[in-house]
A and B are shown apart, each in its own frame.
Chain A
Amino acid sequence: MNLIQKFFSHKTRRRAAPYLFLLPFIVLFTTFWAGPIISSMYLSLTRWNGLRPPQFIGFENYARLFSDPVFQKALQNTLIGAVVYDVLLVLMALALALVLHLPFLRWKSFFRGVSILPVTMSLAVVAFVFQLIYSAQGGLLNQLLGLVGAPPRNWLGDPNIALGSIIGLRLWRAVGYYAIILLAGLQNIPEELSEAAWIDGANWFQTTWHVTIPLLRPVLAFVIVTSTIWALQLFDEPWLLTQGGPLDATKTVVIYLYQNSFRFLTLGYGAAISYILTLVIIAISVIQLRLTMTRD
């Protein structure tokens, strides 16, 4: 009897164990993520100033998005910024990774260390430093341009180039990091494959283009998806450097939803903006998930 009891309780414990191990996650996730996402969906269907109770207005906020020129400008900046950033990022990171993978290269760990150093700085700190670099009056970049006799520019104050300047500082921080990720992917490719191509008489470029890059595709897909997801959430740097100006030239979707939620106190509208952007981001990560799954 005692033995049966013991067996039984052991079995029960083993059945209950996974739920108990998951309990902290379930509690925290429900409270701080799942619950708020559902209430955010409701808020996006209301007019709410954060003080009086929210007032249900159906899809009015979503309809307003289509006729709001500021939102459209913000969306345009975000999408153009993401595409330009992604293309330059992938090209530069891939080039750096391929160079760091060259078999004859010396001081590899030094170059790897230097490449990854910028990403250890927080976005906010990078923004502070680049304020000095981009400053129109005596900033580092204009000083360097002065050395070669080029005229100074107002990197953050000129609406035509401000978004480009923001993309530039993001690239400065991220290229090395993504290069290291791609490098890890390159190191996972069996060397016999490229050696076979070498023996068949292919040169470095042919081997890289026809053998290495196709095999690197899953990691490249990961890099593109991850960097896109982060690019769509652009906030810290333009908020700290230009507050979205000049003339909304660096206003992003997240800046606009932050302003609606915490400055203009149009929280329902802010929630609608955040919902649209979240759906885009989740759609992209589902694509990523499928790519990862098929890879395995």
Chain B
Amino acid sequence: MRHAHRVFIYIGLAIMCVVSLLPIYWMVVSSIRPEAEIFSSTFRPIPSTVTLEHYVKLIQRTNFRYWLWNSVFTTVASTALALLVSTMAGFAFSRYRFVGKNVLFLIVLASVSIPEFVTIVPVFGMMSRMGLVDTYASLILPFGANALGIFLMRQYMEGIPEEVFESGRIDGCSEWRLYWNIMLPVIKPAVGATGIFIFLGSWNRYMWPLVMTRSDTMFVLPVGLATLKSDFIVQYGQLMAGATLSVVPIMLAFLFFQKQFVQGLTAGAVKG
């Protein structure tokens, strides 16, 4: 391609970078500038003074530390549960022949895209009968059954040669040990990629925890931060401080594990 074309392509990519990064920059810069400067009639990309008051207020006056902990705990727990359930089910589908296999797998396939909103009312009713509204259980247990996770795990596991397991069987391994000591170590990278996919879905979830939790100390980050907005005066500085704090861990993890992230995010697309 000619030199002029290349220049245009780099200009286009530079514009793409500005458009992608400007809102993120704006979030961070709004969290460290005085409240009075957040809205302005002229474009002022550099704050006149840098202040951490929004962060201090956010941590002192709101339940932010609870929201952060709730998000971390429910996300880690539901990802771990979903991975355990998915790898076990994927192992069953990829390594055994049994009555009902095809029907069960069709059910898994059909439920990959069942939306949360169609089950939320009955599940809410069930949770309130069991006294589980406003508990971690209501945020974790329903997401243990992850159809896409099972589908992906089965796909990866089918690619592992059967000989590996035959020798394990001859050595007298139990079925559980074939799964835990032989299969899991072999497909660790795939489990990691799928885990990132499930983790992000859980970290970002909003409607489900909005319905299932009641008290301020049980909110997850998106729900808790939204309460800063629903008062009469919106605390934009604190809102941006909270937004920044909720995004930073994910973005740092992304920078360190970019390859795994991209694998995780594209897992369903190319391997599917």
Contacts and interface: CB of A to CB of B under 8 A. Distances in A.
Contacts of B236: 131-132
A13 B39 contact: no
Interface stretch (B46-54, B55-63, B139-147, B187-195): B139-147
A129 B27 contact: yes
Interface of B: 1, 6, 9, 12-13, 16-17, 19-24, 26-27, 30, 38-44, 84-86, 88-89, 91-93, 95-96, 98, 101, 104, 107, 109-115, 117-123, 125-126, 141-142, 144-145, 150, 174-175, 179, 200, 203-204, 206-207, 211, 221-223, 225-226, 229, 236, 239-240, 243, 246-247, 250-251, 254-255, 258, 261-262, 265-266, 268-270, 272
A155 B162 CA distance: 59
B118 A274 contact: yes
A270 B121 contact: yes
Interface in A17-39: 17-22, 24-26, 28-29, 31-37, 39
Contacts of A172: 19-20, 23
Contacts of A213: none
Interface in A96-150: 96, 99, 102, 104-105, 109, 111-126, 128-133, 135, 137-140, 143-144, 146-147
A236 B206 contact: yes
Contact of A36 (B109, B126, B255): B126
Nearest to A152: B41
Nearest to B228: A128
A53 B199 CA distance: 38
A138 B36 CA distance: 11
Interface string A177-211: 10011001100100000000000000010000000
Interface in A239-296: 240, 254, 257-258, 261-262, 267, 270-271, 274-275, 277-278, 281-282, 284-286, 289, 292
B207 A104 contact: no
A275 B118 contact: yes
A252 to B, nearest CB: 11
Contacts of A96: 16
Interface of A: 13-15, 17-22, 24-26, 28-29, 31-37, 39-40, 43, 50, 96, 99, 102, 104-105, 109, 111-126, 128-133, 135, 137-140, 143-144, 146-147, 172, 176-177, 180-181, 184-185, 188, 204, 219, 222-223, 226, 229, 233, 235-236, 240, 254, 257-258, 261-262, 267, 270-271, 274-275, 277-278, 281-282, 284-286, 289, 292
Contacts of A36: 118-119, 121-123, 126
A72 B265 CA distance: 34
B257 to A, nearest CB: 11
B84 A24 contact: yes
B113 A124 contact: no
